[in-house]
Chain A
Amino acid sequence: MGLLTKATRFFKKYQAPSAGAPEEETEPLVRLNQVLSIPQRFATGPVMGKFLNAFKEKRILANKCPQCGRLQLPPREICAECRVRATEWVEVGPEGVIATPDITYYASPDPLTGETRETPYISAHFLLKGCKDHETLWHELKMTDFDKVKRGAKVRPVWSEKRVGAITDIKYFEIIE
């Protein structure tokens, strides 16, 4: 958070055109600060539910479009391009390679927890075994030497001890040395 706080001093605050005028007796402006906390529940539906449930057994499932044959990760009810139901399931991974990595330095809030994230962290689109082209899975990469974070680097998932059927059952992927 420090970066942005520091940076805002570079940006001039707007001054109302009347700012230079002789001072009138005005009431001070009031700003109300509020922090919201909102409990939320999200239904997975049967398709995402199957994908998340399989995490409990350390399995990663994609589903396949019967028309164009592409895999979807995570799986979705239909293939949006062909507009047909994707009914066939394929187990992929668990190992794979990095397709596109991103190193995030900006500390933003996680809307699911309200907590500000620890930075830097690395997210990446992974091409798991059995997948091709754009059939990538987006997840976190374990913090490591940035020089190793390259396209094509081999990775494997690291699973949580206690798995509940959530995307966080995969703690992160790590580079295989």
Chain B
Amino acid sequence: MKKNRNVGIIGVGQSVYSSHREEVNQPEMINEAVVEALESAGLTIDDVDCIVHGNMELFEMVHQPDLWHTLGTGALGKESLRVTTGGTTGATLVAAADHLVASGLHDVVLAIGFEKLQEGHTTGGITNMADPLWGRQLQTGALTGMTAAQMIEEFGEERAKKVAMKYRILMDQHAMKNHKAHRRLGLSPDQADELMENSPQLVGELRMIHMCSQSDGACAMVFASEEKATALCDQPAWIKDHVTAHREEMFCIFGDAPVLSTHRYAARKLYQRCGITNPREEIDLFEMYDPSSWWGSDWLREFLLLEGDEHLKMIENDEIAMDGAFPVNPSGGVIASNPIGATAMVRVAEAALQIMGRAGEHQVPKTVNQALASGFGGTMWTVLTLLTRQVPW
């Protein structure tokens, strides 16, 4: 691994996330995030060399939304790129901005992810990822009960359901401390039993309470070269590395044989390149793209290269709580807020805020030297990003 030059995150901005941002249109909503990101970086739009823009393809049925959004992004007369890689869009926006700055092509890049899910149909939109000749007649967006079924088979119904609800309630407790989060339900642990039985079923044992929201919102981040970042910001969050792992269409992972997940594959590759031998010890915090509390619980095992029921214990023992040994999603995660084209970027942005010490009420009570952020998309693929407090290379 060799990087041409270091890249620092020096500004983060987020709109408020909500199910209905009907009081603003798309450019106005994006502008909220852009203004906050520039203010937090101490820059004006004149200081930005290039703008990278992305969301889910055609979710709002607007072709080339970046043109309309120029009003809110400030891209007029600047170089601009559009990135759209499904669920991973936000993480790919970060990767693209990192490449643009690391290459030496630009010194300051503004990346923007957004979604206004109320203006389209989320599940209808995601269903279009399936092959139109085969599978689209069955696909239900990103909803599936298979992980729940697998966890129940592996760990027994009672333990699996309890862990998924524990995870869900922990994430809500985190979201309660994040005033920008969409769903802040104020759940308490004593509601777990009632919710796991009475929350409406979506698919199998995946219930409404387990699933992520459909949110409106935007996130913007400012990336700068080492020289600029050091001059402009007391504590940038540095991009050490990122790995994207794709797979072919989801034809071959649902039978009776072991599956190597792209999460585990990407994690192995990232840790190897960055010399991490014990991720639980060496990484201080993880912002995970957790579309449901079943996936969130199950995927801990993959990302941390664990075996057996170690991941369940981490949830049962509160290790993943904000003040635990390995905090996961102090922001409340995707279950709390999911403006899809921004969602994977929010993971990196929140991890960066924790390193910079700017997360406010949901800042974890320890120094974050190294943070991990994941993106997840479509046919089960992964983008993993590693951020550091020290200049990495």
Contact = CB atoms under 8 A, between A and B. Distances in A.
A105 B133 contact: no
A64 interface: no
B205 to A, nearest CB: 9
Contacts of A123: 138
A93 B120 CA distance: 40
A134 B137 contact: no
Given A42-B133, A103-B145, A80 B248 contact: yes
A81 B247 CA distance: 9
Contact of A103 (B18, B22, B203, B248): B203
Contact of A106 (B21, B138, B143): B143
Contacts of B141: 108
Interface string A120-145: 00010101000011111011100000
Given A11-B213, A42-B133, A168-B137, A99 B183 contact: no
Interface stretch (B252-260, B342-350, B359-367): B252-260
A21 interface: no
Nearest to A106: B202
- B131, B137, B257 — which one has the most chain A CB atoms within 10 A of its CB? B137
A109 interface: yes
B255 A105 contact: no
Interface string A160-173: 00000011100000
Contact of B185 (A10, A140, A168): A10
- B128, B213, B248, B252 — which one has the most chain A CB atoms within 10 A of its CB? B252
Interface residues of A, number: 51
A100 interface: yes
B204 A99 contact: no
B334 to A, nearest CB: 15
Interface in A76-101: 76, 80-81, 99-101
A106 B132 contact: no
A136 B255 contact: yes
Contact of B19 (A8, A108, A109): A8
B252 A134 contact: yes
Interface string A1-20: 00100011011011010000
A72 interface: yes
Contacts of B251: 72-74, 76, 134
Contacts of A100: 146, 149, 254-255
Contacts of A10: 185
A48 B133 contact: yes
A14 B138 contact: no
A111 interface: yes
Contacts of B149: 100-102
A150 B204 CA distance: 12
Interface of A: 3, 7-8, 10-11, 13-14, 16, 29, 31, 36, 40, 42, 44, 48, 52, 70, 72-74, 76, 80-81, 99-106, 108-112, 123, 125, 127, 132-136, 138-140, 151, 166-168
Given A132-B255, A134-B259, A138-B134, 7 more contacts: A11-B182, A13-B20, A40-B132, A72-B252, A74-B251, A105-B200, A167-B137
